[in-house]
Amino acid sequence: MNGRSATPKLVSGRIRPAPQTILTSMYFVYILLSEKDNKRYIGFTDDIERRLLEHNAGKVKSTKNRRPLKLICSEQFGNKSAAIKREREIKNKKGKFIIP
């Protein structure tokens, strides 16, 4: 720890607000398996639970007629660009992944 307190401090007669915690989003690359035709779908999102619900509710054009879908694999990333890069690797069959 650098010794800095997270409480407000008095600076030149004014209160300086406490340092804010920076919230970072997590991104996921995921693979779904269609239980109807046994085909896979690869995508990325910042909310994997919501996205799976959207797929199974028929709100995603590319998977609407392939329901039900189940999540078979996911990878977590700290930023969007890394997730997009990994999604492309998998779609181009350059990425290695294991399907349970």
Per CATH, is 25-91 categorized as 3.40.50.1100?
no
Residues of the chain with pLDDT under 50: 1, 5, 8, 100
> What is the enclosing helix (H) or strand (E) of 56?
helix 48-56
DSSP SS3 for 53: helix
**Local structure of residue 72 (DSSP, 8 states):** E
CA distances from 69 to 40, 92, 93 (A): 9, 22, 21
Q: Are 77 and 90 in contact (CB under 8 A)?
A: no
- The whole-number pLDDT of residue 1 equals 46
The reported pLDDT for the residue numbered 25 is: 84
Give the pLDDT confidence score for residue 100 in this predicted structure: 47
